[in-house]
Structure 1
Amino acid sequence: MEIKYKKLSEAELGTFIDMRINQLTEEYTSTGREVPKGVDLKSALLEYYHRHMADGTFVSWLAMDGDKIIGTSGMSFVEKPPYFTCTSGKLGLLSSMYTNPDYRRMGIAKELLDRVVNEARNYGCGSVHITASDMGVKLYTAYGFKHNGNFMMYNL
């Protein structure tokens, strides 16, 4: 088996979206919650990825075993007013980190993470943020991510 890496293109977008929905479902239900009924996440994701891939504010690297996508990553780029530790004001929002269970513990997630972090660095981001699943915390901590005790969220 030879794992290859490539950037996400329109050709893989349908499979990428299906994998993203599976990942979100796995994470959501692992906390004992039920996935809300009637949410058209597929259409919302398709619109998001089309728009942000086109304007360069979303990039994804894929891990491939032949023609099969076995791992995904994603980085969205946002901008806010500059501050002391991020004078560019540009932030990377990490998402879509997922490895097929049959391919876990092989370094694939670390390679995907490294590729999208480099994309954020090249974009000029001063930091990368993530809301990590329990499974991902070990990977992100080993990579050098730090917990931010001040992070808060307000749902609208």
Structure 2
Amino acid sequence: MIAYQKLTKKELDTFIQMRIRQLREEGAKEDIDLVPALQDYYHRHMADGTFVSWLAMDEDRIVGTSGMSFVEKPPYFGCPSGKMGLLSSMFTDPEYRRKGIAKELLSRVVEEARAYGCGTVQITASDMGVLLYTDFGFVKNGNFMQYKL
């Protein structure tokens, strides 16, 4: 039986390891130790309420993760509040996939964004995640661009 709970500092080390597993699975090339930067980010943003995560648990084992970062930019017509959710850390252990866990986690973090006052949620989806997000109601934005500094 899968249970769901919010991420706390107690689960943070395991959560970070699962985030790194997710990035590797998506094909990220590792050239730095990302753990210190992730620890810093999550500690700061969990403390100030601008990051929230729901976990899927099989007894005491984390089998699925989600994350939502809250950011604010000047309001625009598509998002009059200017508050946006940035979805990340969507990962389900391979042996637990295709059981509805990711959909449940997604529902929970999207509700967190709604409660925070976000007018939109964005994600850069992996190939594996596209179907989940389109089925949920996400639409592609062909104008997304990025400039690496």
TM-score (norm 1): 0.94
Structure 2: runs of 5+ lacking an equivalent: none
- The letter of the residue matching 1:17 is I
- The letter of the residue matching 1:10 is K
Which residue does 2:34 correspond to in 1?
Answer: 41
Which residue does 2:126 correspond to in 1?
Answer: 133
Pick the aligned partner of 2:89 from 87, 91, 96.
96
- The letter of the residue matching 2:13 is G
Which residue does 1:71 correspond to in 2?
Answer: 64
- Where do 1:15-54 residues align within 5 Å? 15-28=14-27, 35-37=29-31, 39-54=32-47
Q: What is the CA-CA distance between 1:28 and the residue it aligns to?
A: 1.8
Which residue does 1:80 correspond to in 2?
Answer: 73
How many Å separate the matches in 1 of 2:125 and 2:145? 14
Equivalent residue of 2:27, what SS? helix
Structure 1: runs of 5+ lacking an equivalent: 30-34
How many Å separate the matches in 2 of 1:51 and 1:40? 19
The count of residues paired between Structure 1 and Structure 2 equals 149
How many Å separate the matches in 2 of 1:43 and 1:84? 38
Q: What is the CA-CA distance between 1:137 and the residue it aligns to?
A: 0.1
How many Å separate the matches in 2 of 1:92 and 1:36? 26
Q: RMSD of aligned C-alpha atoms?
A: 0.7
Identity %: 72
How many Å separate the matches in 1 of 2:133 and 2:110? 11
Show structure 1 runs of 4+ deviating over 3 A. none
How many Å separate the matches in 2 of 1:36 and 1:6? 30
